[in-house]
Each structure stands twice: as C-alpha cells, then as structure tokens.
Amino acid sequence: MMSRSALLWLSRREGLKDFATRFAPFRKLTTRFVAGETIDQAVSFIRQLNAENCTASFDHLNEAVASEAEAEREVQEYLDILRQITETRIRSNVSIKLTQFGLGLDPELAYRNARRVVAEAHARGNFVRVDMEDSAVTQLTIDIFKRLRAEFDLNDVGIVLQSYLYRTYADAEELVKLPARIRICKGAYNEPPEVAFPDKKDVDANYVRVMQLLLSSGYYHGIATHDPKMIDATLDFVSRAGIGKDKFEFQMLYGIRRDLQLQLARDGFNLRVYVPYGKHWYPYFMRRLAERPANVWFVLKNVLKG
Ligand SMILES: Cc1cc2nc3c(=O)[nH]c(=O)nc-3n(C[C@H](O)[C@H](O)[C@H](O)COP(=O)(O)OP(=O)(O)OC[C@H]3O[C@@H](n4cnc5c(N)ncnc54)[C@H](O)[C@@H]3O)c2cc1C
C-alpha cells in the first residue's frame, strides 16, 4: 500500500500534475473530493448544503502561483465569489491560501492581495479564512494574518492552526489574545519530526488541548475534523464547560463523512463544509488520498474501469 508520505511527495510533482489534469478518467474521479470546475457548480452544491442546514466555505483551488498575473486572477476570482455569495444569498464564507496570492513570489504582494479580498468581505459582511499551508510559510502566514487582523474586525478574517506542529499551542495562546477566530485542524502536509509530532496519538492529544483552549476563550472558532474521537472530545468538553451549540462550529471537507456532517447538523450543531472547486485540483486531491491511503484503491479501480 502506498504510504502517506509517498502520496504527499507525489502531490508536489509538477509533471504528474500536468499528466493527471489532462487524463480524462483521472479528472472524472476528482468529483469524489471536488465540487466542480466553476463557481456556478459550487454555488448549486452550496444551495443544497444550506437546505440541509449546513453552511459552506468556498475554496478556489490553486496554490503556489508562478506569476503576479496568476495571483491577480485569483484575487479577481475571489472578488467574484464574494459578489455571487451576496447575489445568490447562499450562506457561505471563503477560504484563501496565501501562496495562491503570491506568497512564494513576494510576501508583500500576498499581503496586498489578501487585503483586497478581506476589504471586499468586510464591505459585504462576509468572512475570509486564511488556510494554513506547509511549515515553510507558517510564520509568514501568521505575520500577514496579524496585519490583516489589526486593520479589520474579528468577524472579517480568521486563520487556521495545525495540531501536528509543536509550535501550535503557543500560537493559539498568542492569537486568541488578539482576539482571533481560529480553525483548528490536524494538518495535511508532509512535515519533518523537527517541527511536527511524528505520532498520530500526539497529534490527536495536541488537537484536544488546542480545542479546549479555543473553546474556553469565548470567541467563535472552527473545529475542523472528521475524526469521531475529536468530535466526541469536543462534545464532551462543551457539555462539561456549559458552552452552547451556537458558540462554535464543526467543519468538514466536501465529500468526506457526509453521514457525520448531516448527523451533527440534525443534532443542532453548526456545521460548515469546505467546498473546493476549480481546475487546479491535483495537490488538494493528492492530500486527500494521503489522509486515507485506502482511497488509492478506489482511484485505481475507477481509472482501470475507464
Ligand atoms: C474544514 C477543513 C479545513 C481544513 N483546512 C486545512 C488547512 O488550512 N491546512 C491544513 O494543513 N489542513 C487543513 N485541513 C485538513 C486537515 O488538516 C486534515 O488533513 C484532515 O481533516 C484529516 O484529518 P481528520 O481530522 O479528519 O482526522 P484523521 O485522523 O485523518 O481521519 C479521521 C477519519 O476521518 C475520515 N477521513 C479523513 N480524511 C479522509 C479522506 N481524505 N478520505 C476519506 N475519509 C477520510 C476517515 O474516516 C478517518 O478514519 C482541513 C480540514 C477540514 C475538515
């Protein structure tokens, strides 16, 4: 069976990306984790989610853009998404990646681009979540987020922290004091033992510690996981601490544990689904395979079937 790190390594291979994006049977499979190629397809899926009492977060798939012009197209796409959310009245916010806005080219460019999107969200009463990428950009991402947070309100912009990083508990303590709205997740990239817990049980234990810290703060945070153990730990904590269902939200990814998503929404919890769409699905798709290498069989079976 292919390992997590092999799949994460493949997720960064440009040659394979070009091949996979053009290979029709492979492209068809992306529907397992991706809501479509256009905003319209994502909007119609989000309408369904809203009808089932779930909210959403748009993600236009792209990362590590190669030019300022490409970063500019990403900004325009997000301005368009925000406009369409207002016009269609769907209940959704947006998630962005700073490397999508040019972080790898020039951090100031990424900051200026992110600022434009946050300003638009502010004007429209919406919210921008800054996703967290690999550890090479953790500090840069936090620094840019802090600048945005200094200029905009708590409910305009939030950030993501990953429980697999040793630094995360301290980051959560610092950021919550700003205050800031945080999404806690386990972390999806290939990280060395110098920066991240190699053992899943330590990642999980840290997740629970950070979740408790966040939910004790009284600010509205996102608990992003499909892991029933993390969800049970959250339910147990909020019931013991007397924290109301309206004070936080669970978040899950499009296409993963739909049963659990609907169950939590039916039980009256706030449930937000992260909805990725677009043509640049390859690295996102490969990270989803890496989370559950059994998914590779599903992919191979379907590619072979044609
Ligand atoms: C809303 C949201 C936003 C996220 N944003 C970021 C981010 O900004 N940065 C970042 O690094 N990571 C992000 N992630 C990904 C996250 O870091 C994890 O990689 C991912 O959520 C898997 O971890 P888990 O908590 O679900 O637990 P795991 O222990 O990995 O999985 C628990 C169970 O969930 C199910 N499951 C999990 N993943 C899959 C899958 N791919 N296919 C099928 N079943 C699966 C399985 O039943 C599995 O047993 C985000 C996740 C979510 C839900």
286 phi, psi to nearest 5 deg: -65, -35
Q: Which residue has the tokens 């950030």?
A: 159
Q: Is the pLDDT of residue 134 over 70?
A: yes
Is the CB–ligand 1 distance for residue 158 below 6 Å? no
The residue whose CA has the least distance to atom 49 of ligand 1 is 227
59 is catalytic: no
Q: Which residues contact 34 (CB under 8 A, 6 or more apart)?
A: 61, 254, 255, 276, 277, 278, 281, 284, 285
183 is catalytic: yes
166 phi, psi to nearest 5 deg: -60, -35
3-state DSSP call for residue 121?
Answer: helix
Is the CB–ligand 1 distance for residue 252 below 6 Å? yes
- Which among 8, 141, 291, 296 is the best mutation to test ligand 1's pocket, defined by most ligand atoms within 8 Å of the CB? 291
Spacing of C-alpha 11 from chain mean position: 17
Residue 94 near residue 76 (C-beta atoms within 8 A): no
180 phi, psi to nearest 5 deg: -145, 150
Is the CB–ligand 1 distance for residue 32 below 6 Å? no
Q: What is the per-residue pLDDT across 2-48, written as a single tens digit (0 to 9) for each?
A: 688 887 888 777 767 776 777 676 667 788 899 999 999 999 999 99
The residues pairing with 272 across neighbouring beta strands, listed in sequence order, are 55, 251
Measured from the Cα of 160, ligand 1's closest atom is 8
Which of the residues 183, 204, 272, 288 is marked catalytic? 183
Q: What is the per-residue pLDDT across 149-202, written as a single tens digit (0 to 9) for each?
A: 999 999 999 999 999 999 999 999 999 999 999 999 999 999 999 999 999 999
